Structure 1
Amino acid sequence: MTPTFAAADAEALPLHVIEQGGVDAWAEAQPEPVRAWVAASGFTGALNTALAIPGEGGAPAMALAGYGTPAQRARTRFALAGALPALPPGTWRIASGLPEADAPREALGWLLAGYRFDRYKAQDARHPGLVAPEGLDAARIEILAAAETLTRDLVNTPAADMGPAELQAACERLAADHGARVETVTGEALLERNFPMIHAVGRAAAAHAAPRLMDLRWGDAGPRLTLVGKGVCFDTGGLNLKPGASMGLMKKDMGGAANVLGLAQAIMALGLKVRLRVLIPAVENAVSGASFRPGDILTSRKGLSVEINNTDAEGRLVLADALAFADEEMPDLIVSMATLTGAARVAVGPDLAPFYATEDRLAEALQAAAGPAADPVWRMPFHEPYEAMIEPGIADLDNAPSGGFAGSITAALFLRRFVTATPAYAHFDIYSWQPAAAPGRPKGGLGQGPRAILGALPGILGL
């Protein structure tokens, strides 16, 4: 269930947000019993702490939430959410102490902290409720939380229940909820419609997991925005089989698709004046007699030939056909999202969403929007001298250059070869997974980049 704010007229207890070092100043204005309780508790306002203060009957009458220091908050995306596990259940309202500029971010973090993935096992549903602070666009924050919930649910679902067919069903449910339409090309029809690389990557899977391309459209006015998400629902590595330790998280290899679907949901729910298109190539990179092989040369939709030097570099292949298809329409902006390379994780770790942009204005808008959206991104370079690394000699392109250097950059350069008619293109090489629980971000599937993209769209597209 998507977390929402409590009703404005709900009975809510006051919550005072206290910076570290500010406890004494707050307590001076309180009655003696409250001062004594706070003094006896040892509460200091540290991050990830809270203190319930009882009333005359012993039940909580108010609470304090630690807000740490500015330096500590700079290292914590959703500082207030860290106090929630120490708060008693119930509904709360912010009574004092939360800076107005912080309120949108911290209110979003509060909602995101309430996420539970309970499809297979009941989870602890206790989560303190919050009345939306005054002056916030509560509806927008709830839409952002709902988009993140969709993304997390899709990524967290194992491949047995989130294969290409189930990902198609999720896309169709989203379209039905918002009056969009979806066309899907499946199996051998991919060859008839000229999506040869999507077909090649997915053809080894069982019949129920046949490769497919979903094409969602919504909106009939405004700039054209096309989102492309990698939907590799499970990645064995193909004939270049991954070791077991590397295969354990491969249910999340459709994280790019999950992120663009979450972003699309937010765009449609907010009613942005755009002509939205979402393209998702959905495959399972399986092993069978039909698997594509190292040394094969595939011809892409765009006509470029690709030498396969590693079947585990399959995401860029399915994206390439989808990007070429997107580019034929020449939209105002194309954004691709993919859990594409381990090299990106080595470069920036799991917490940042690295991206590539063909235009400085596009990159600047994304970077400017990331902070307010609490969705950190980092620009990476389309480094032209590395183009030679993806040119193998016997084909136009190499899907896995040898040597191991600059793996994220060479993958982005590979994708850029398929976007030649659309000037504005951004590619996100994301992780889409929270490896350890943090405030507002439970361990598991994660949205990375959509809120920054959403915040940047008005400036990029002139909305």
Structure 2
Amino acid sequence: MSETLPIICVTENGVKTANISETHRAWARSNGFVGQSGKLLALPDKEGEIGAYLFGLGSEVNRSALVLGLAASALAAGTYRLEGDYGDPTLASLGFRLGAYRFDRYAEAKDQPVLELPEGADAAEIENLVTSAFIARDLVNIPANDLGPDAFEAWIAEFAETHGVEVKVIRDDDLLAQNFPMIHAVGRASDQAPRLVDFSWGDAANPKLTLVGKGVTFDTGGLNIKPGSSMALMKKDMGGAANVLGLANAIMTAGLKVRLRVLVPVVENSIAGNAFRPGDVLPSRKGLTVEIGNTDAEGRLILADALALADEEQPDLIIDMATLTGAARVALGPDLPPVYARDGAFAKTLIEHGMAIDDPLWEMPLWNGYDKLLASKIADVSHISTGGLAGSITAALFLNRFVRPETEWMHLDIFAWAPEARPGRPFGGTDQGVRALYGALKDRYGQ
């Protein structure tokens, strides 16, 4: 057996022209293999051992850019090389590497399949995007008992140090003293204090790009407590922050020409005697008073204070990412996060990048006609809409109030979870929007 096993990539109905023997063509026919997308077929050698694999790419019309991720998820440990018409070598390699991801922090680690880099592949870009995706996935997959607010802050500090920057942290009652009342209110019932983590990187003369990530390390729903079935996945409620940190890693590693700022409000939405309540009216950093309709809609509150801070230095662009609403999943499902943007042209560029690299996003409207649904009879604004309709849009409209109209701002309502494996995304915590945003930002700002 050779040191590396070939993976022979075949388009749908392309077996007859593949570079394989007639015996192997007959073997493919007998196994019903015609190049179906994602199907892997072992080819025996003369000794009856596995000598190669056929892998189906599917039809050109429906092909995923990262379809080779399905091969990696099915292969045993070993070293492999690509043969046949696998398309762009960088995308093919990226898909394989992303599909080989395993979260083994709590189980026996197993060797993973390794791909020899094909000729023409951009090794640095692949490594950057893979590392950035795995940052997001690992953080989402770690349970809350090992990634509460204290541990998450420590992780961010260590991450920032690897990029040569220091974090600033405003914690506990200092949040009140420095005017972050909604971050404090949401997190004060936990035995681990709420905090705002803040770091900056890059040349101060470059355009200011600020990323804001929702960092709710666990969400009970607060006094509007979630049922058990809805609470089961709430370790992932810091998925916005996880993806922001993955994106920040990609930006810093590539050296984009920005002055990057990252803001992560970190809280646990718990229940205690001092928990905030439905019907409370909270002050905010922006100066708006906010009536609380449901304590299970806590993410937009901590984001609002962080966005107000981000806006104060008049950045060129603010992007926030958050696992914000179930309504977004109802509208677009788990695989397709909505993006809300004030600049439609940049949103179009972002979506084009996402579609090209199998990181899909879909633009949704900041429909001002629904802003009236956030009306409050006793405060400047209610933080949830009346009647429960258009939930993802009204959440975006709530955030919209905390960023000056002249600031370019974009909001991604992500799921950060793959309920079933698909190309380049094994089951579990996942990156969403990172590759799309990185590509669009690289186009916009350069390296």
TM bin, normalised by shorter chain, reads over 0.9
The runs of 5 or more residues in structure 2 that have no matched partner are none
Does residue 116 (structure 1) correspond to residue 108 (structure 2)? The answer is no
- Alpha-carbon distance change, 118 to 86 in structure 1, aligned in 2, over 3 angstroms: closer
1:142 to 127, 130, 136: 127
Equivalent residue, structure 2, for 1:99: 87
- Alpha-carbon distance change, 360 to 34 in structure 1, aligned in 2, over 3 angstroms: closer
Distance 1:393 1:77 in 2: 50
2:227 to 243, 246, 249: 243
2:142 to 132, 148, 157: 157
Distance 2:72 2:182 in 1: 47
Which amino acid in 2 is paired with 1:368?
A: E
Equivalent residue, structure 2, for 1:21: 13
Distance 1:195 1:43 in 2: 59
Determine helix, strand or coil for the equivalent of 1:282: strand
Equivalent residue, structure 2, for 1:362: 346
2:366 to 362, 382, 393: 382
- The Cα shift of 1:438 comes to 2.1
1:65 to 49, 52, 55: 55
Distance 2:286 2:85 in 1: 57
Correspondence 1:302-381 to 2 at 5 A: 302-381=286-365
RMSD over aligned CA atoms reads 1.9
Tell me if structure 2 keeps the 8 A contact 1:330–1:422. no
Distance 1:34 1:359 in 2: 53
Equivalent residue, structure 2, for 1:50: 40
- Alpha-carbon distance change, 344 to 33 in structure 1, aligned in 2, over 3 angstroms: closer
- Alpha-carbon distance change, 85 to 299 in structure 1, aligned in 2, over 3 angstroms: closer
- Alpha-carbon distance change, 119 to 127 in structure 1, aligned in 2, over 3 angstroms: closer
Deviations 1:382-421 (CA, angstroms, capped at 9, x unpaired): 1011111112131111012220011111110110111106
Tell me if structure 1 keeps the 8 A contact 2:73–2:99. no
Distance 1:63 1:407 in 2: 47
- The Cα shift of 1:46 comes to 2.0
Distance 1:332 1:154 in 2: 28
Does residue 171 (structure 1) correspond to residue 161 (structure 2)? The answer is no
**Identity percentage of aligned residues:** 53
Tell me if structure 2 keeps the 8 A contact 1:252–1:432. yes
- The Cα shift of 1:86 comes to 5.0
Tell me if structure 2 keeps the 8 A contact 1:51–1:87. no
TM-score (norm 2): 0.94
- Alpha-carbon distance change, 271 to 392 in structure 1, aligned in 2, over 3 angstroms: same
Which amino acid in 2 is paired with 1:198?
A: I
Determine helix, strand or coil for the equivalent of 1:181: coil
Distance 2:86 2:272 in 1: 57
Which amino acid in 2 is paired with 1:254?
A: M
Tell me if structure 2 keeps the 8 A contact 1:63–1:87. no
User: Which moves more between the two structures, 329-338 or 358-367?
Assistant: 358-367
Determine helix, strand or coil for the equivalent of 2:356: coil
The runs of 5 or more residues in structure 1 that have no matched partner are 1-9
- The Cα shift of 1:85 comes to 5.0
Aligned length: 445
Correspondence 1:251-262 to 2 at 5 A: 251-262=235-246
Distance 2:194 2:129 in 1: 30
Distance 1:51 1:434 in 2: 25
Tell me if structure 2 keeps the 8 A contact 1:327–1:422. no
TM-score (norm 1): 0.91
Which amino acid in 2 is paired with 1:118?
A: D
